[in-house]
Amino acid sequence: MKPINIGLLGIGTVGSGTFAVLKRNQEEIARRAGREIIIKIIADRDIDKARGIVGDDGTLITDDANEVVTHPDVDIVVELIGGYSAAKELTLKAIGNGKHVVTANKAMLASHGTEIFAAAERQGVMVAFEAAVAGGIPIIKALREGLTANRIEWIAGIINGTGNFILSEMRSKGLSFDTVLEQAQELGYAEADPTFDIEGIDAAHKISIMASIAFGISIQFDKVYTEGITKLTGEDISYAEELGYRIKLLGITKKTSKGIELRVHPTLIPSRRLIANVEGVMNAVVVKGDAVGPTLYYGPGAGAEPTASAVVADLVDVTRMHTADSKQRVPHLGVQPNLLLDIPILPMEEVVTSYYLRLQALDRPGVLADITCILAELEISIDAMVQKEPKKNEEQVDIIVLTHLSVEKNINAAIAKIEELPSVMGEITRIRLEELSSK
Amino acid sequence: MKPINIGLLGIGTVGSGTFAVLKRNQEEIARRAGREIIIKIIADRDIDKARGIVGDDGTLITDDANEVVTHPDVDIVVELIGGYSAAKELTLKAIGNGKHVVTANKAMLASHGTEIFAAAERQGVMVAFEAAVAGGIPIIKALREGLTANRIEWIAGIINGTGNFILSEMRSKGLSFDTVLEQAQELGYAEADPTFDIEGIDAAHKISIMASIAFGISIQFDKVYTEGITKLTGEDISYAEELGYRIKLLGITKKTSKGIELRVHPTLIPSRRLIANVEGVMNAVVVKGDAVGPTLYYGPGAGAEPTASAVVADLVDVTRMHTADSKQRVPHLGVQPNLLLDIPILPMEEVVTSYYLRLQALDRPGVLADITCILAELEISIDAMVQKEPKKNEEQVDIIVLTHLSVEKNINAAIAKIEELPSVMGEITRIRLEELSSK
């Protein structure tokens, strides 16, 4: 059978991984796809670098991305340049030219997915994006196909390897955030500008895509509540540990009777949960379905070949299905495009979860009474309260409170009131807590 | 669009789970599948029980399974009666009548998969079997579709919930095998005749199916080396723990330069691995691909609704694809059926792995020297050796040896020789050990 021709946009980390995997496992991949998959043309700003990676095997190389998306022999365009507008324009142009698209670009899909999928549906082509979420873990496939029997109740995922590396190192080596960030940058795990990773934006891109598939809603990145890990201290990590919890940066989405929760923030989770033990740059996603119960998917969330693994799996899927008609294909977001639901995203103030609060107070009688009164007035019930010994030469003590399920707005009010107490010093640290139990 | 009609063979545990899930999540499932999926007819030996479960909703109920597989309105037959010959006959009959088949029957596929898939391919129908391995975990989909970019290097899975429940309880509560087995039977986790679970046969069915997909070979259940958990003692479990290991019943398949390893046996794995922390009736499968690295899939491996989750996911897949032509469909074993490879299965004596040996010896000078000499002669290198304190009023001591990678036949020879030593009492306990590292 005639081979499938790929046009590759960008041969950086993931691009060269994709090139290497397609070449090394050519035969294996053809046995699975039913025909060969060949990279026909590559566009990259740096032609010499591209030629250096590819060698002289007849692959066309250009610095004009337009050549790729319009090339008459190209069946599938693989978009790996990242970013927003240029990637989006090229993707739409490829679609307009009747090409299928495989992309790893979560930022683009989180912001322009609706437009891109609509264009693809009009044109009768596929846009596949397994590599956009959790690298090599086939989580999009699990959500879109593996769990179709279920009403998904919630998803919680470690979906940013850089963030998880930093938190793992802070905990295991007792280092500060800044020190570990520097190390991560030296190791190539964090970029020179690490904002997307450490502020939770990358995780927000990914959770907005997963929420859309899980609940059959449109992608709503702009509504994700996003809080990063930059303010976490070693103290909070070790207090959490003492109480039986680990702190992880989680992307969480949950369907409640009032709406859908969509949030990214540092989260205490019980140390005994599998996902609490996911360390370093690894990713893991827990999906709770009403029929299946809890399932977990674990693997490398980034890197050249792990991400290429997802890109190539999409290429095989598209190859198998490119002659099928659209009703035989899996819809982009899992549900038929005209059947997306309009369920409201819950504002963060309405979210119900548990909380870890750390505050510094003067070691005087009545302080705990004042705090517990404020919490009681706001209907916040206490799961555990620990007053630490005063540190050397200090007269103030750390007080840790774990709450039962409470409404975020009540916690906000309680924090404001407690911070006003004359015996309480400085700002209160608030970290959300999820039991992630299978119930 | 016209609904898809299901004929259900057997409405026991999984059958009633499937009925319940299809009914409860009808709308959600239709949004994903693109049309309704309806159970048209059910065959069960006990018509009254079936009617009791189904109620009076117009579903036909019969005690004649042939009526289901020949019914002109039935598009997909769901085979949930289990066992070998009757299930196989009905499956082939359904295929012969042009029906697609969804089955949870690992025993049937492990023994007759080749014949069944060949018949399906001739007839142009699909046989889907996600529910046959690891219950609700979409592991077949991950292997057949999610990881197509990879050369799979190995798979190691906890794929029998009963066995894992027994080992978890033995470890956490310090109970004996017999006591826990009884409890498992009372809880409904183990059957009255638990042979398939505790002797590793069920796990062998499943690993033979996974190996076939991972390596593109035919299903070879008869070549799986199978050892159950009946001989494990609390002592071994706690010695393993002291050395940093947990004992799990694993199904393992590995591609080596000499052939494919295919084996089920109790295995020591480092306690820090995620899979070592999978407890109770849960299942987990680690798949190591050359591109992606290690990935892990975790969830409930049995039970009515978790298994139904996989059955219904298959129904959605078949519904989406039933009008497609066969080259667009995912091949039954992942690779094109004419391209299966003929790679030999390695005899157990040729397998290379590490070992835990426990022996009882008299507490006399020279014993350790004798043992280490025998091991050295057979080129077995020692990773750790521990001599325990003699127990009260006994003059014999337990000696534990952990070996580095060794050939099984050398270990067999060493065990025979060591058992002949006059200072060594009784039989040596041998448990295999896998590091399962990502390297």
Closest CA to B308 of B1, B5, B56, B29: B29
Is there a contact between B313 and A32 if contact means CB atoms under 8 Å apart? no
Q: Flag whether residue A301 sits within 8 Å of chain B, measured between CB atoms.
A: no
Selected residue of B32, B215, B305 to mutate for chain A interface (largest A Cβ count, 10 A)? B32
Q: Which of A34, A298, A308 sits opposite B296 (nearest CB)?
A: A298
Is A189 within the bounds of a domain? Answer: yes
Task: From A337, A362, A392, give the residue that closes a domain.
Answer: A337
Closest CA to B303 of B10, B28, B18: B18
**Residue A409 maps to which CATH number?**
3.30.70.260
Is A368 within the bounds of a domain? Answer: yes
Find the angle CA(A195)-CA(A199)-CA(A200) to the nearest 5 degrees: 120
Is B382 within the bounds of a domain? Answer: yes
- Calculate how close chain A gets to B168, using CA atoms only, in Å: 14
- Calculate how close chain A gets to B81, using CA atoms only, in Å: 21
A254 and A393 both lie in a single domain: no
Give chain B positions within 8 Å (CB) of A310.
Answer: 149, 292
**Residue B227 maps to which CATH number?**
3.30.360.10
Q: Which of A24, A138, A272 sits opposite B142 (nearest CB)?
A: A138
Q: Compute CA A433 distance to the chain's CA centroid, rounded to the nearest angstrom.
A: 18
Give me the total of CB pairs closer than 8 Å, taking one residue from chain A and one from chain B: 224
Mean per-residue pLDDT of chain B: 96
Is B344 within the bounds of a domain? Answer: no
Complex ipTM, two decimals? 0.96
What is the tens place of the pLDDT at every residue in A80-135? 999 999 999 999 999 999 999 999 999 999 999 999 999 999 999 999 999 999 99
Question: Which residues, listed in sequence order, are joined to residue B252 by a DSSP beta bridge?
Answer: B156, B263
Choose, from A206, A248, A254, A255, the residue flagged as catalytic: A206
Look at the alpha carbons of A87, A89, A92, A94 in this order and tell me if their dihedral is positive or negative: negative
Q: Flag whether residue B390 sits within 8 Å of chain A, measured between CB atoms.
A: no
A158 and A236 both lie in a single domain: yes
Q: Report whether A216 contacts A341 (CB < 8 A).
A: yes
Is there a contact between A148 and B323 if contact means CB atoms under 8 Å apart? no
What is the tens place of the pLDDT at every residue in B164-195? 999 999 999 999 999 999 999 999 888 899 99
Work out the pLDDT band at B439, boundaries 50, 70, 90: low
Q: Report whether A248 contacts A276 (CB < 8 A).
A: yes
Helix or strand run (H / E) with residue B6:
strand B4-9
A82 and A158 both lie in a single domain: no
- Reported as half-sphere exposure (CB side, CA atoms, 13 A), residue B69 has a value of 23
What is the DSSP code (8-state) at residue A363?
S
Is A72 within the bounds of a domain? Answer: yes
When pLDDT is averaged across residues B210-231 and rounded to a whole number, the result is 97
Q: According to the model, what pLDDT value does residue A391 have?
A: 79
Q: Flag whether residue A439 sits within 8 Å of chain B, measured between CB atoms.
A: no
A54 and A189 both lie in a single domain: no
- Calculate how close chain B gets to A137, using CA atoms only, in Å: 7
Tokens 């159970």, residue located:
B39
Q: Report whether B314 contacts B128 (CB < 8 A).
A: yes
Give chain A positions within 8 Å (CB) of B439.
Answer: none
Taking a contact as any Cβ pair under 8 Å apart, which residues of chain B between 21 and 40 contact chain A?
21-22, 24-25, 28-29, 31-34
B206 and B293 both lie in a single domain: yes
Is there a contact between B216 and A28 if contact means CB atoms under 8 Å apart? yes
Q: According to the model, what pLDDT value does residue A381 have?
A: 97
Helix or strand run (H / E) with residue A360:
strand A352-362
Is there a contact between B145 and A339 if contact means CB atoms under 8 Å apart? no
Give B64: exposed, middle or buried? Use CB within 10 Å, 0-12, 13-18, 19+. Answer: exposed
Which residues are within 8 A (CB) of B54 and not within 5 positions of it... i.e. 6 or more apart?
A: B11, B19, B39, B42, B61
What is the tens place of the pLDDT at every residue in A369-420? 999 999 999 999 999 999 988 877 778 999 999 999 999 999 999 999 999 9
A94 and A195 both lie in a single domain: no
- Calculate how close chain A gets to B254, using CA atoms only, in Å: 16
Give B368: exposed, middle or buried? Use CB within 10 Å, 0-12, 13-18, 19+. Answer: middle
What is the tens place of the pLDDT at every residue in B246-259? 999 999 999 999 99
User: Catalytic residue positions of B?
Assistant: 206
A165 and A280 both lie in a single domain: yes
Is there a contact between A32 and B335 if contact means CB atoms under 8 Å apart? yes
Is B345 within the bounds of a domain? Answer: no
Determine the Cα–Cα distance for residues A86 and B287; give it in Å rounded to an integer: 36
Q: Is A388 a catalytic residue?
A: no
Closest CA to B285 of B297, B277, B273: B297
A110 and A33 both lie in a single domain: yes
Is A347 within the bounds of a domain? Answer: no
Determine the Cα–Cα distance for residues B32 and A149; give it in Å rounded to an integer: 9
Helix or strand run (H / E) with residue B161:
helix B161-173
For the question of whether the overall pTM of this predicted structure is more than 0.95, the answer is yes
Burial B322-337 (b: 16+ CB within 10 A, else e): eebeeebbbbbbbbbe
Q: Which of A130, A274, A295 sits opposite B137 (nearest CB)?
A: A295
Which residue segment(s) compose the domain that A261 sits in? 139-300
B195 and B167 both lie in a single domain: yes
Work out the pLDDT band at A337, boundaries 50, 70, 90: confident
Give chain B positions within 8 Å (CB) of A324.
Answer: 321, 324, 328
Determine the Cα–Cα distance for residues B369 and A121; give it in Å rounded to an integer: 74
Q: Flag whether residue B172 sits within 8 Å of chain A, measured between CB atoms.
A: no
B334 and B375 both lie in a single domain: no
Q: What is the number of domains present in chain A?
A: 3
Taking a contact as any Cβ pair under 8 Å apart, which residues of chain B between 196 and 225 contact chain A?
216
Selected residue of A328, A330, A332, A438 to mutate for chain B interface (largest B Cβ count, 10 A)? A328
Q: According to the model, what pLDDT value does residue A439 have?
A: 62
Task: From B339, B360, B389, give the residue that closes a domain.
Answer: B339
Residue type, B397: V
Q: Which of A277, A313, A316 sits opposite B277 (nearest CB)?
A: A277
**Residue A48 maps to which CATH number?**
3.40.50.720
A357 and A328 both lie in a single domain: no
Determine the Cα–Cα distance for residues A42 and A10; give it in Å rounded to an integer: 7
Which residues are within 8 A (CB) of A321 and not within 5 positions of it... i.e. 6 or more apart?
A: A126, A328, A329, B324, B328
Mean per-residue pLDDT of chain A: 96
Is A160 within the bounds of a domain? Answer: yes
A276 and A312 both lie in a single domain: no
